[in-house]
Structure 1
């Protein structure tokens, strides 16, 4: 009876939220959601009110739960071991780029372009259609783009991201159980599923040794970024004069900050070849306020500043190494210096909507697979600073409205 009540409750929620979202779309002259090749990547525009976006999140969550309840444990635990094979083949052989959006192709034409047999193209494409709604076969043997395949053709960063996930992350996930069996308590980034899938080499070693893979990885990560306004508008930069961006790549965040706050000077630190490129790309009008410095954050910091900014750095490292990074800041810290961590947070159970919680846990396990690293909760951050040095005072963590990353901050009391 409890399950029956739950499925009826979910059904009512789905009907209610669907009706309200449909009414919003109709009222604003927006198209009904579809997977047609001309459909937008996300059915709701960025300008949609938070209330409507929340309804969408609730609807997705309810549909997923209702599907699971009706499917039942037996079928939920059936492992589809072929699910992503077709997408990986399609992207590897550029089948999705072999014809334009709005055009029609055939299995024979795709075979000629790719060098694959007609038989293999046919089975792969049909598998992708049935499992991922990737392409459409409206007539037997006639293929057109769907919303999913068209989206990847329009957004090269999204396509690079999916290629990276399938080529780099997927093999790591398959070997993670083996890594945990071999190294159950390791914090080393060479003792991972990724390393087992790559001849014992860590992610960093692979990216350094194979520049083309490193380039693809960088493009994939660029797609996952967010608008810098969430940081710039939510932090009191006007109260500070000097900033060190640790692991700051080409300095894009510091460029935005320097332009908004003319009194702020910045130092961007990263690997030698990265900062050389950053210096070349730096707009000429900012040469007197932004400088670049080669620096290894596992060595003592030698630049004194008001704020030390680390964006998505520490989640790449286990506690053992994150503590070293925080300790190596100490030689340059002065009373009142701030350490500003800008990362996604691992929320406490039950504090956020299920889809958001699932994304956080997925990323946490992903960091385990790749680097033996982790996502951290507010309590984890508090304990990390305390373990690094008792003179760090944890100031808390907050998530700007609409942002994915949190602002996590500590002050050095000296």
Structure 2
């Protein structure tokens, strides 16, 4: 069992290691100041990058355990209970665009800031001071506000603000209805909604259908998706590093449910001899992708877009099929149908690549880093939005077995969590239909 003394000693040791690594790279130690070093953007798959990530994660793991031991169980539970106030505060800060009205490299009075935001100064001060309690903004003297590293990031990275807006407003609204949906399904299944989303938005439509009809919500959703892939946790760079794309030569690659083709656009430079097809049933997304490709002469002849419903039989015979963040939106029965639609087009040796988060096999453990916990967070998102779930490796294997017993072989798994990312990569090979 860990004692607070052992945990503290471990933190000291790992902080010393992290500090040495940073110094070796000529990087400053992190601070809370606006110009403070942040996000460990140098984290790469180089030996130094891996060492930095490992030291950082050990500090986070150990520090969280130490905090919980010192908190005690009551304060721990209360902290979890009232975490919604943190979400409300960062949503308010972002929705009111407060960070954008605080000058970078300078400061502003609460009176001036309130006038710029157009809300009463006492209310502005309450919102900002709650943020300060969480490390967002700094009050350098009474009623004078400047940026912290975190609030400055909201200005410098618009994608981060987009993640907050959709995550707090739309996903938050859905998440708060999960308890109601689960209890209703238990106590009154005949009248229970299909998902928490249906309760939150008072509709019988699916999230995809409903958002597609609502221009503002659809815009927030796609900005959120674009924002996520701009962060290390969801970056397409992890997919690029997870498989030897460069060695595949003259192959045909199909990105099933590929939206506007951001995955293909990231992979194409690694595969100069490959051709790509992006399939989706969202016409506006496909058109967005066509416009992006039209601006790059090197891609025009190699990347095409086509309308496709992945519940229908696949008509394109390819060497590689990619499903990135697709199956977790669907329950097992539908996921089997999606994969079964491939069978008419598959040839022996074809690869089916699944890029998603992987749930650890039981027994469950405390997850103290954001990257390791994110699969549980995303699993909750899927429960609320689609009544679906993230999966273990064994559960993915079960899906393929249900599609056609003995016809697929799991070649390998590249863990995303170990590299500080959400999505992992599973490679399945089609051996051939078994009779």
TM-score (norm: length of structure 1): 0.90
Asked whether the equivalents of residues 307 and 338 of structure 1 are also in contact (C-alpha less than 8 Å), the reply is yes
Closer, same or farther in 2 for the Cα pair 1:300/1:223, shift >3 Å? same
Residue in structure 2 matching 1:264, options 252, 256, 274? 274
Deviation at 1:44, TM superposition (A): 6.7
Are 1:19 and 2:54 counterparts?
no
Q: Distance in 2 between matches of 1:10 and 1:140?
A: 37
Deviations 1:307-347 (A, max 9, x none): 21111111111112111101111122223322221222112
* Residue matched to 1:314: 327
Contact 2:356 2:423 in 1 (8 A): yes
Tell me how far apart the structure 2 counterparts of residues 241 and 96 of structure 1 sit (CA, whole Å): 47
Report what 1:148 is aligned to: 150
Shift of 1:42: 1.8
1:265-284 mapped onto 2 (5 Å cutoff)? 265-271=275-281, 272-282=283-293, 283-284=296-297
Contact between 2:43 and 2:53, CA under 8 Å: does it hold in 1? no
Question: How many residues end up aligned between the 2 structures?
Answer: 408
Asked if residue 175 in structure 1 is aligned to residue 177 in structure 2, the reply is: yes
Aligned match for 1:399, one of 414, 417, 422: 414
Q: Following the alignment from structure 1 to structure 2, what is the Cα–Cα distance between the partners of residues 352 and 262? A: 43
Shift of 1:288: 2.7
- Structure 1: which 5+ residue stretches go unaligned? none
**8 A Cα contact 2:412 2:426, kept in partner:** yes
Query: Could you tell me which of 364, 367, 371 is aligned with 2:379?
Result: 364
- Structure 2 unaligned spans of 5+: 230-234
Deviations along 1:37-65, one digit per CA (max 9) or x if unpaired, are 11133257325432232111111111111
The within-5 A match list for 1:336-347 is: 336-347=349-360
Aligned-pair Cα RMSD in Å:
2.5
Specify the SS of the correspondent of 1:269: strand
Matches of 1:395 and 1:82, distance apart in 2: 44
CA contact (8 A) 2:236 2:263 kept: no
Match of 2:401 among 386, 404, 409: 386
For 2:68, the equivalent position in structure 1 comes to: 68
Tell me the equivalent position of 2:232: none
1:95 corresponding residue in structure 2: 98
Q: Which residue of 1 aligns with 2:125?
A: 122
- 1:391 is displaced (CA, Å) by 5.0
Give the SS at the match of 2:427: strand
Distance 1:370 1:393 in 2: 30
Distance 1:6 1:154 in 2: 41
Contact 2:374 2:422 survives alignment (8 Å)? no
C-alpha distance in structure 2 between counterparts of 1:54 and 1:229, whole Å: 17
Shift of 1:371: 1.5
Which secondary structure does the structure 1 equivalent of 2:85 belong to? coil
Matched, 1:214 2:218: yes
Aligned match of 2:201:
198
In 2, Cα distance between the equivalents of 1:92 and 1:256? 31
Tell me, what secondary structure is at the counterpart of 1:41? Answer: coil
Alignment match, 1:52:
52
Aligned CA distance change for structure 1 residues 102 and 190 (closer, same or farther; 3 Å): farther
Worse overlay, 298-307 or 26-35:
26-35
Give yes or no for contact 2:249–2:271 (8 Å, CA) kept in 1: no
Give how far 1:229 is off. 6.5
Contact 1:240 1:307 in 2 (8 A): no
SS at match of 1:346: coil
Name the counterpart of 1:223. 227
Residue of structure 2 equivalent to 1:37: 34
| Structure 1 residues 291-314: Cα deviation after superposition (integer angstroms, max 9, x where no partner) | 211011111111111221111111
Task: State the partner residue of 1:253.
Answer: 263
Other structure's SS at 2:322 match? strand
Which moves more between the two structures, 106-115 or 387-396? 387-396
In 2, distance between residues paired with 1:28 and 1:308? 39
C-alpha contact (below 8 Å) 1:378/1:397 kept by paired residues = no
Cα distance in structure 1, aligned partners of 2:167 and 2:425 = 27
* In structure 2, C-alpha distance between the alignment counterparts of 1:257 and 1:251, rounded to whole Å: 10
Change (3 A) 1:396 1:380: farther
Segment drifting more, 209-218 vs 89-98: 209-218
